[in-house]
Amino acid sequence: MLKVVHLCCGYGSLRVVQGVSLHVSKGEVIALVGANGSGKSTLLKTIAGLIPPFEGRVLLKGKEMAGQPAERIAAAGLTLLPEGRGLFPGMSVLENLRMGGYARRLSRRAEAERLEMVCSDFPALREKLAQKAGSLSGGQQQMLALARAMVGAPEVLLLDEPSTGLAPMVAAEVFMKIKVLKQAGVTIIMAEQNVSRALEIADRAYVMKTGRLVMEGPADEVSRSDEVKRAYLGM
């Protein structure tokens, strides 16, 4: 579904990500783990077209996406849920949800069907459709961001630190929603500081350190790695 080949990217002349290659198959959930500053967010932003790559390839269903505008990549079926949610706080919950399908150019009927689907999956949002997004709690805003991403029926969903800043109980609810998406067959790459929870959900994992991949494999094997236990699981 998605293949990244020797991707190098960063800001200005600073190379943050160096020579990263990875792939994700249809319906697979990938955990991208590493310490703060390891390059996870930069990698996801580059895949999504928010940062132009220095070199390398990004193939979505075999089609080259590296260097394409972000809106074209979104229209092709790849959606990024950014760290910090990226909501429009002055717009209503419904308006934010409708923005999730904008790049995909959904018909009115398709948009209505997708909105009904996400309201069924996120029932707490149905009661707040007219409410300003900025007035929601942190957990509700994260649910809105996830629901908005799903309105566009993404073929690949990139999640950048979905549990950041959330209370443990709220974070647990977010992870439960991600599990539901996995069961529905959504293809996901998830960068997450809560490594143990991410590895519980993921099929495979990649570990980043200072802009490079230092480990990859089935999630259960990575979770048993002594290096991962010491660095990320506090064991």
What confidence tens digit (pLDDT) does each residue in 180-216 have? 889 888 999 999 888 888 999 999 999 999 999 999 9
What confidence tens digit (pLDDT) does each residue in 90-131 have? 999 999 999 988 888 888 888 899 999 889 888 889 989 999
Surface-to-core class of residue 132, CB atoms within 10 Å of its CB (0-12 exposed, 13-18 middle, 19+ buried): middle
List the beta bridge partners of residue 227: none
Top pLDDT among 164 and 65 is at 65
pTM for the whole thing? Answer: 0.90
List the beta bridge partners of residue 168: none
234 has a pLDDT exceeding 70: no
Topology given in CATH for the domain delimited by 26-50+69-232: Rossmann fold (3.40.50)
CA 47 to centroid of chain Cα atoms: 11
Q: Report how far residue 18's alpha carbon sits from residue 13's, in angstroms, rounded to the nearest whole number.
A: 13
pLDDT tier for residue 61 given thresholds of 50, 70 and 90: very high
Token pair 């048993």 in the structure block, residue: 224
What confidence tens digit (pLDDT) does each residue in 62-96 have? 999 998 999 999 999 999 998 888 899 999 999 99
11 has a pLDDT exceeding 90: yes
DSSP string spanning the chain? -EEEEEEEEEETTEEEEEEEEEEE-TT-EEEEE--TTSSHHHHHHHHTTSS--SEEEEEETTEE-TT--HHHHHHTTEEEE-TT----TTSBHHHHHHHTTTTTT--HHHHHHHHHHHHHHSHHHHTTTTSBGGGS-HHHHHHHHHHHHHHT--SEEEEESTTTT--HHHHHHHHHHHHHHHHTT-EEEEE-S-HHHHHHH-SEEEEEETTEEEEEEEHHHHHT-HHHHHHHS--
pLDDT for the residue 174:
87
Q: Report how far residue 140's alpha carbon sits from residue 128's, in angstroms, rounded to the nearest whole number.
A: 10
